[in-house]
Copies of this chain bind each other. A is one copy, B any other.
Amino acid sequence: MTNFSRPSGRAPDALRPVTIERHYTRHAEGSVLVSFGDTRVLCTASVEEKVPGFLRGKGEGWITAEYGMLPRATATRTQREAARGGQGGRTMEIQRLIGRSLRACVDRNLLGDRTITLDCDVLQADGGTRTAAITGAYVAMVDAVAGLKARKLISKDPIFGAIAAVSVGVYRGVPVLDLDYPEDSACDTDMNVVMNEGGGFIELQGTAEGHAFRRDELDALLALAEKGMVELFAKQREALAR
């Protein structure tokens, strides 16, 4: 392991530089540009005074997410999903993950009959777009909810705790934190971890692309994720304090 080095030169337990820029666009109730290194995702939170059919009349709100990738966010051009006639499996999988993750820190009864839609659009991709999206969307959602409180549309804060996400993986035999694209495409095992501030797991999605991972590897990966989370929650707090 003496010779081990990550393509980016980062230490195995180092995140990429993370920035969270609020009020990035003007119309949305929450609008955040989040960067995990070269991965840049625009996360907007839109509040609408309606709920999907299955919640109608229950006095409960809804949190949902949609995910998109600009055609040239990637190294080679990806066909536009609108032009292809629909969202693909990867997109659906990711937006369902974002929606479930964010719902895990909201008391939807306190939200009332309204929906918050988190649109996460990748402007530039370099690995980890879904974890950056969750981390940024949380901040956009906090801003949107703050607006509801400021306008006295809700009295009690429906958000409890914070949510962030990071990827971990085994790259050339070494567990590493926050994979960028060169690592992601070459690594054997890849895990996306969504946690809350209290150290609880919200989502855990591990995939062994190359070789199955053993229990001790899993433990090492989870420890790395926990370390990264502390930094991500700090970044979110800083951004929200500005």
Contacts and interface: CB of A to CB of B under 8 A. Distances in A.
A206 B201 contact: yes
B212 A104 contact: yes
B93 A93 contact: yes
The 10 closest A-B pairs by CB, nearest first: A200-B212, A89-B92, A81-B82, A204-B206, A44-B72, A46-B77, A28-B72, A82-B82, A25-B124, A71-B119
Interface string A190-209: 01000110111111111111
Interface of A: 25-28, 31, 38, 40, 42, 44, 46, 48, 66, 68, 70-77, 80-93, 95-96, 100, 104, 117, 119, 121, 123-125, 191, 195-196, 198-209, 211-215, 218, 222
Given A48-B77, A70-B119, A73-B25, A199 B214 contact: yes
Given A90-B96, A198-B212, A201-B218, 14 more contacts: A25-B124, A26-B124, A27-B74, A27-B75, A27-B125, A31-B72, A48-B77, A82-B84, A87-B89, A88-B92, A196-B212, A200-B208, A200-B213, A205-B206
Given A26-B38, A71-B46, A119-B80, A204 B205 contact: yes
Contacts of A87: 82-83, 89
Contacts of A222: 215, 218
Contacts of A40: 25
B72 A27 contact: yes
